[in-house]
Structure formats: structure tokens, C-alpha cells
Chain A
Amino acid sequence: MKIAIHDVKNSWKGTLILLLVFIGLVVMVLSIYPGMKGSIDMWMDNLPEVALTTFGRSGIELSMVGGYLNMEFYQWGWVLTLGIYFAFISSSLISKEIESKTIDMLLSNPVSRARIVLEKFFGLVPAIILMNVVIPIVILGCLKYINETIDVTYLFYTHVLSVFYLCAVCAIGMLFSVIFDETRRANVVAIGVIFGMYIVEVISFVSEKYAAIGKISIIHYYDPGEILVHHTVEASDVVILFFITAVILVVAVIYFEKRDIAIS
């Protein structure tokens, strides 16, 4: 785990900034909730149907703080933005070493390529866990301050599933990270895939006709609204996300073991 530990130590500043940004975001979103609460129904009546389905896959329950958080924070802030952040970070990990040629130095040590892929992946897990521990605590703190309550159990589940979702995102990023020699290209493709999956899931939700295609999107298996608002947690979602992570990591390891690392 020495490579993972090294990576964690080296990236703590970035992780801290990410955490602070998201704490700020949560505080901001929740601080305007009391003021908005009264006018939410009126605001919702004026929203087009499509917007409702797009932002809240599981329907809109804005008058409850869980539904409000889902729509104003989790759907775009967490699933999409944090997903894109981790896609960006993970897709940089090995492509950056290849692009800057430091991979030569790293591989001059007695470490296998498989170990590098896996350790670099595991080096991301502490940041994922940190986000999923601190943010719900901040949410609970804020809610107490504005005298609102939320079901703590389901807030907890939301973040347990989030860990699996973000791990799957990182596995996808790792795959592109071992395929491309240029960091920027790996970033663009990984972010594109996450964004594309978000769009696919939204389309499948809006239109009955395309309902089936949502299943190819990892975002289909993580819906904070479903958990926070409707209090439904599917164990199969956890299994599927875990399975996706494992399979993609195995593919990344095999690909990286087989490829040439040439100097361009």
C-alpha cells in the first residue's frame, strides 16, 4: 500500500479544498431553505414538467428538506459534479505518469503494473470516504441550526451508496488513465463518459420509450432522491456498482499489463 499512501499524502491539499468547497455549497444551499420553503409550491407550479423530471428523478418533494436537498444538492452537486471531479482525478493518475515519463522511475522499482493500478485506485478511496463522512455531518449540523429534521438512517444510506458510486466512477477513470498517454485526452474522455451517462439516465427517465437504456448508465444505480425521499434502498444497486467497479478495474489491470510503455 506504499504507492497508495504516497498518493494520499501528496493529494491531501486538493482533497481538503474539495471538502471545503462542498461544505460551503451545503451550507449555502441549506441556509436559503427556510426562506424558500414558503414559496416553493408556487415556484414549482411554474416549472415545466421536463425540468421536474430532469432534476429530480424520483419526483419532486421540495416541501420536505430531503427532497429539497436531493434536487438542489445531490443530483447535480454530488452525482454529477463530484462524479466529474473524481473522473478527472482518477483519469489523470497513470496517464500523467506516462505523459511526464515518471512512470519509468516508478516502474524501475520492484512493483508490478497491476499493483500500480490497484494502489492508485485505493489511494482515491480515503478522499471518497472523507467526503461521505464529513458532508452528511455538516448537513445534520446545518439542519439542526435551521430547525429541520431528516431521517438520519437514510441520509447514512445515501452516503454509503455514494461511496460505491464514486468508486465505480474512479474505476472508469482509471481505465482511461491506463489507455491514454496524454492526461488531457484521458480527462476529456472520462468526464465525457460520466456526463454522457448522466444524460442517458435523464433521457431514460423523461421518456418511457428509452427507459431501458438507462440501465447502461452507472448513475442509474445511484439515486439519492430515491433513498432520501422515498426511503427505498436497493441492495442490488450496491451489488451492481461493486461489480462494475471490480470488472472495470480488472480490465484496466489487464490492459496496463499488456501495453507497451514507449517514450514518445
Chain B
Amino acid sequence: MIIETRDLTKYYGKIRGVENLSFSIEKGEIFGFLGPNGAGKTTTIRTLLGFLKPTRGKAFIFGENVEKEIVKIKEKTGYIPGEFALYGDLTAKDLLKYFGKLRRNFDEKRLERLLEIFELPLNRKVKGYSRGMKQKLSIVQAFMHNPELIIMDEPTAGLDPLLQGKFYDFLREEKKEGKTMFISSHILTEVEKISDRVGIIRDGNLITLENVDSLKSKKGKVVKVKTAEKLTLRGIETKSENGWTTFVVTKDMDDVIKKLAKFTIKDIEIGELSLEEIFLHYYR
């Protein structure tokens, strides 16, 4: 077991951060930590990494209590923070050199390889970096000491699709080497591409832990249709507003289309289920 939490709870004074989180992540697993903004993803990550002290409960990484052995844990852990607050006055080169010195397993060759994938203007001061460049730098520093576990807080928000693809390819390669990854996101489609298993958090509570495959089976489409007549579909719960009828189709799309064909369709929109809609549809 690489990560284990037992009833991990964090309150900020009276405000709830997360409550009674219990989950575990195995070696070599890519774990997607999914939830809408404000659900407690960052609080969980910051508690795991020792930035926040748990109000109740415990968390273990590599079998060590995060409240006691966090320095030991960090020797084998990489972290990509949600906000790319890097030292603006340093050049990327100096920043990487500085952090390299603070880490035991820093590996110059590995850094070179990372910089081939995630190209960076190394001699420019970080404050002149674009958001995407800062993100690449965050990725490079998190992986440069060859960590066994990498914790990432929304690592792809702001990466362009091309780079996102490169990043996922890189993660898959790392996975082959037995690395464990914890990736938070509020976008299902991002996490499902890469994760083996997903935990869904909402309002500070872990709603479910599922394999990605079974989560994918919970996919569906939102259909919004404007018809001339009043629309009723047998066996499907619909919602009507301003002449538009909205409903979720989870399996037999063909059947639904054929039923719809009997009506006069003025307009139609079909879209992916958002995470929030999956919550409403499956986990209410």
C-alpha cells in the first residue's frame, strides 16, 4: 500500500474541509481523485503532504504516518501544486539546481530527459513564464528525482491538448516503471484517460471508489430537444422548460432516437454528461 487514509478529517475552525476519508492506493496504481471545485481535493492533498494537520483520523504514505515522518516520505514523493507559485526571481535553471540539491535522488540524466519532453527556456526568469511554461516546470521538478509516488493537484488545467497528450504518454511510461500516481481533477474525461481507479469526492465526503471501467459504464449523454408537440418518453425522466425538454440517456440511444422521431423536432443538442450530472444521476 502506498497511500492509506483512515477517517481522515480536516476542519478549518468550524468550516469543513474533508470528512472521514478512508481509501488506499496500491503500488503502481494511477488514482484519479475527482470532484467539483471546492469539494476538498486540495485539502486532502495538503493534508497528505503535511501542509495541514488532520483534525481527526490518520494518513500514511509508504506505511509512515504523514504527521511524523513527512520528511522521509518526501524523499520518495513528487508534488505538482495546484497553483504554480514558483520562485519568480530565479531562472528555471537555478530553480531546478536549487531543488536538485535539496533532494537526495536527484538525477541529472533524468532531468535532461524530462527537459527533452517538456521543453523550457531555462535561462529565462520564471516570472516571465507563461502559465503553460510554469506548468511544465512544475511537472519537471516533480519528476526529476525519480520519485516513487507523485501527487498532482489538477496538473493538466491549462496545458494545451498537444502537451496534455505528451504528459499522459509520459505518465503511462512512468506507470510501467511501477510509479504510483495520485491525480486530482474536476474534469472526468481528463482523469478517465489515464486512471485505473477513481475516487469521487463531494462536499468533503468520499462518495465512491470505482474502477475507471465501471465509471465509464456510467457515462451518458444529455439530450436537450425542442419539439412542436408536448414530449413524453416512456421510461425516461424528463424535465421541461421554455419548450425545451432535457433528459439523460445512459444506454440505448438508438431506441431513444427512434422514439423521438415520432415528434416534430425543431432543435436538438446532445452533450456529454458533466461530472455534476453524473453525481446527480448516479450518486444521489
A residues adjacent to B (C-beta < 8 A): 2-3, 6, 10, 100-102, 104-105, 107-112, 258, 260-263
Inter-chain CA distance A111–B66, complex, in Å, is 14
For residue B263, which residues in chain A have a CB less than 8 angstroms away from its CB? none
Asked whether, in the complex, the Cβ of A111 is within 8 Å of the Cβ of B141, the reply is: no
For residue A2, which residues in chain B have a CB less than 8 angstroms away from its CB? 98, 101-102
Chain B nearest CB from A150 CB (Å) reads 41
Asked if A110 meets B87 with Cβ closer than 8 Å, knowing A3-B102, A260-B52, A261-B51, the reply is no
For residue A261, which residues in chain B have a CB less than 8 angstroms away from its CB? 46, 51-52
Asked if A105 meets B141 with Cβ closer than 8 Å, knowing A261-B51, A263-B83, the reply is yes
For residue A109, which residues in chain B have a CB less than 8 angstroms away from its CB? 74, 99, 102-103
Asked whether, in the complex, the Cβ of B86 is within 8 Å of the Cβ of A105, the reply is: yes
Residue-wise interface mask of B (129-152) relative to A, using a CB-CB cutoff of 8 A (1 in contact, 0 not): 000000000000110000000000
B176 interface contact, C-beta 8 A: no
Please give the number of chain B residues whose Cβ is less than 8 angstroms from any Cβ of chain A in the complex: 33
Q: Which residue of A lies closest to B88 (CB)?
A: A100
Asked whether, in the complex, the Cβ of B72 is within 8 Å of the Cβ of A110, the reply is: yes
Could you name 29 residue pairs across A and B whose Cβ atoms are closer than 8 Å? A2-B102, A10-B89, A10-B90, A102-B86, A102-B87, A104-B51, A104-B85, A105-B85, A105-B86, A105-B141, A107-B49, A108-B77, A108-B142, A109-B99, A110-B71, A110-B75, A111-B71, A111-B102, A112-B70, A260-B12, A260-B52, A260-B53, A261-B46, A261-B51, A261-B52, A262-B12, A262-B46, A262-B51, A263-B82
Inter-chain CA distance A253–B13, complex, in Å, is 23
For residue A258, which residues in chain B have a CB less than 8 angstroms away from its CB? 53
For residue A112, which residues in chain B have a CB less than 8 angstroms away from its CB? 70-71
Known: A104-B85, A109-B102, A260-B12. 9 other contacts (CB 8 A): A10-B89, A101-B83, A105-B141, A108-B77, A109-B74, A110-B74, A110-B102, A111-B102, A112-B70
For residue A100, which residues in chain B have a CB less than 8 angstroms away from its CB? 85, 88
Inter-chain CA distance A102–B137, complex, in Å, is 13
For residue B103, which residues in chain A have a CB less than 8 angstroms away from its CB? 109-110
Asked whether, in the complex, the Cβ of A108 is within 8 Å of the Cβ of B53, the reply is: no
B104 interface contact, C-beta 8 A: yes
Chain A nearest CB from B178 CB (Å) reads 20
B204 interface contact, C-beta 8 A: no
Q: Which residue of B lies closest to A2 (CB)?
A: B101
B155 interface contact, C-beta 8 A: no
Inter-chain CA distance A85–B71, complex, in Å, is 33
Inter-chain CA distance A108–B140, complex, in Å, is 13
Asked if A6 meets B42 with Cβ closer than 8 Å, knowing A101-B85, A102-B85, A258-B53, the reply is no
Chain A nearest CB from B53 CB (Å) reads 6
Asked whether, in the complex, the Cβ of A110 is within 8 Å of the Cβ of B104, the reply is: yes
For residue B82, which residues in chain A have a CB less than 8 angstroms away from its CB? 263
Q: Which residue of B lies closest to A109 (CB)?
A: B102
- Residues of chain B from 6 to 36 with CB closer than 8 A to chain A in the complex: 12
Residue-wise interface mask of B (57-76) relative to A, using a CB-CB cutoff of 8 A (1 in contact, 0 not): 00000000000001110110
For residue B42, which residues in chain A have a CB less than 8 angstroms away from its CB? 263
Inter-chain CA distance A258–B54, complex, in Å, is 11
Inter-chain CA distance A261–B81, complex, in Å, is 13
B79 interface contact, C-beta 8 A: yes
Asked whether, in the complex, the Cβ of B71 is within 8 Å of the Cβ of A108, the reply is: no
B40 interface contact, C-beta 8 A: no
Asked whether, in the complex, the Cβ of A105 is within 8 Å of the Cβ of B52, the reply is: no
